[in-house]
Amino acid sequence: MKQRPTILDVAKEAGVSKSTVSLVLQGSSSVKEETRKSVRQAMTEIGYVYNRSAATLRSASSGLIGLVINDLRNPFFTEFAALFQMELAKAGFATVLANSDEDPKLQSQMISSLVEHGVSGFIISPSYGEEEATLAVLDAANTPTLQVFRSLERAEGTYPFLAPDYLLGGRLAAEHLIAQGCQTIAFLGGLEGRPVTQERMQGYLSVLEEHGLEPVILTGQATRAFGKSLAATLKEEFPHVDGAICFNDLVALGVLSACPDLGMTPGFDLRVVGFDDIEDGQDSYPPLTTISCDIPGFASSTANQIVAWIKNGVVPPSTARSPVRLVIRASSGA
């Protein structure tokens, strides 16, 4: 367990001053190629590892970015987190992933822990409720912060917000089911009053209105379990419903998995559309028609924006919407 070598050791080994070593570390162009090489070699020879804490202390930029997600167990967010992290790694930043688990208390705790660790920026998909604590620590941190997918009410404007065009997604889903000949289309799942639910529902409502159709709305948890229970509710209380737009794919997959026991054939008796395009939807029975939010594109765009903000001070627009598209599979009977 001997001490790790420092730039001083490297300097000694390479026969230069420690400033020169530091310049090599930063890739400065004012060091001769030859010198650079010998320094690099000295580093590998003595097993030097860069100490970012020291660098951070002096230069105030850690190269760490905090990604705080409301529900990391939802595959949609997992997918985003995985892609985002890889994207950032390319830009030389490390990602600290934290799961606030829909708990605003946990969220503010985690954020303040990340601030202590000196993160250079935040990407947050916030948990709802008790916004004060979270906003207080974020304000005190005074660091580039981007909201994704969801936005805190009081933070609109202060922290730029980037999300898929949920409203358009709702419209596309509704138009598709109408084109498939559905007469009565229900909107299933998603917590009442939440902005994301509102937007997806609004797209659905406006299309139904344009076609003179009556809406059927059954909100609730965005989970498989709730989706399963909804299928039974539909069968018993709303047997005339022949199309369902689900708040997200989890709800939709729950509905699909409940159908066999209820004697319903999804894609035939009941045409189902989800939202998010998580991978599981490709391998469900039947495969799930859904609204894709282009997560890879969303992740790279988010990564680019936060990096541009940190490095060059380019503040993203206060609100931006990314494109969505309909992905047609068998669950809607196509």
Partner DNA sequence: CTGAAAGCGCTTACAG
91 binds a copy of itself (CB under 8 A): no
Q: Sign of the C-alpha dihedral, residues 325, 328, 333, 334?
A: positive
State which of residues 13, 16, 171, 307 lies at the interface with DNA (CB under 7 A). 16
User: Considering the rule CB under 7 A, would residue 44 count as an interface residue with DNA?
Assistant: no
- Going edge to edge, which strands form the sheet with 94-99? 94-99, 64-69, 121-125, 145-148, 161-164, 319-322
Residue 31 lies near DNA (rule: CB under 7 A): yes
DSSP bridge pairs for 327:
290
Among the residue ranges 9-17, 106-114, 152-160, 317-325, the one whose residues contact a copy of itself (CB under 8 A): 106-114
Should residue 81 be labelled a site residue for a copy of itself when binding is judged by CB under 8 A?
Answer: yes
**All residues at 6 or more sequence positions from 113 whose CB lies less than 8 Å from its CB, including other chains:** none
Rule CB under 8 A: choose which of 97, 232, 308, 328 binds a copy of itself. 97
Residues 114-133 that bind a copy of itself (CB under 8 A): 114-118
**Length of the chain counted residue by residue:** 334
Least Å distance, CB 39 to DNA, is: 9
| Span from 19-27, 199-207, 210-218, 225-233 in contact with DNA (CB under 7 A) | 19-27
- Shortest separation between residue 104's beta carbon and a copy of itself, angstroms: 15
Site string for a copy of itself, 30-59 (x = CB under 8 A): -----------------x-xxxxxx-xx--
Total residues in contact with a copy of itself, by rule CB under 8 A: 62
Kindly state the smallest distance separating residue 2's Cβ from a copy of itself, in Å.
9
Chosen residue from 37, 41, 45, 50 binding DNA by CB under 7 A: 50
Stretch 53-92: interaction string toward DNA, x if CB under 7 A: -xx-xxx---------------------------------
91, 96, 232, 328: which one binds a copy of itself (CB under 8 A): 96
* Position among 1, 2, 30, 212 found at the interface with DNA (CB under 7 A): 30
Least Å from the CB of residue 309 to DNA: 18
Q: How far is the CB of 6 from a copy of itself (least distance, A)?
A: 11
SS3 of the chain: CCCCCCHHHHHHHHCCCHHHHHHHHCCCCCCCHHHHHHHHHHHHHHCCCCCHHHHHHHHCCCCEEEEEECCCCCHHHHHHHHHHHHHHHHCCCEEEEEECCCCHHHHHHHHHHHHHCCCCEEEEECCCCCHHHHHHHHHHHCCCEEEECCCCHHHCCCCCEEEECHHHHHHHHHHHHHHCCCCCEEEECECCCCHHHHHHHHHHHHHHHHCCCCCEEECECCCHHHHHHHHHHHHHHCCCCCEEEECCHHHHHHHHHHHHHHCCCECCCEEEECCECCHHHHCCCCCCEEEECCHHHHHHHHHHHHHHHHHHCCCCCCEEEECCEEECCHHHCC
Among the listed residues 146, 201, 234, 258, the single contact to a copy of itself using CB under 8 A: 258
Give the C-alpha separation, 241 to 244, whole Å. Answer: 8
Binding site for DNA (CB under 7 A): 3-4, 6-8, 16-20, 22-23, 25-26, 29-32, 35, 48-51, 54-55, 57-59
Q: Which residues contact a copy of itself by CB under 8 A?
A: 1, 4, 47, 49-54, 56-57, 62-64, 72-73, 75, 78-79, 81-82, 85-86, 89, 94-99, 101, 106, 109-110, 112-118, 140-142, 224-225, 227-228, 253-254, 256-261, 279-280, 282-285
